[in-house]
Amino acid sequence: FWGATVITNLLSAIPYIGTTLVEWIWGGFSVDKATLTRFFAFHFILPFIITALVLVHLLFLHETGSNNPSGINPDSDKIPFHPYYTIKDALGLMLMLLILLTLALFSPD
C-alpha cells in the first residue's frame, strides 16, 4: 500500500498534470482496489508489449543489419543471422533454463 502511494505520488511533482495523472493511475482519490486492478493489468500486459517490441527490433535488425546507418553494403565477409545466431541464442536459452530447472528441482530452499 505505502509503496504504491509513495511511488505514484512522485508523479504529482510534474507541473500542471501531476495530480490529475496520479488520480488517473489510482482510479480515485487514494490507493484502493481500482489501483490494484490497474497495476495487475499493467503487470500482465507489460511482458507481451516488451516481447512485441523485441520481435520488431529483431525484425528490423535482421532486415537492415547492425551498425550500418548509411545502408551501404560493405564488401566484407559476413555470416548470416539465421541459422548461426538463431541456434546460438537457442542453445544459450536452453542452457539458462537447464540451470534454472536444476536449481529449482535440486535446491528448492
Q: Where are the domains of the chain?
A: 1-60, 78-109
E strand intervals along the chain: none
Q: Name the pTM for this structure.
A: 0.54
Looking at residue 65, its pLDDT comes to 67
What count of residues does the chain have?
109
pLDDT score at 28: 83
Dihedral Cα 49, 51, 57, 63, nearest 10 deg: -120
Return averaged pLDDT per consecutive 10 residues of the chain, 109 residues in all.
85 89 86 88 95 93 72 71 87 97 92
Q: What is the largest CA-CA distance in the chain?
A: 62
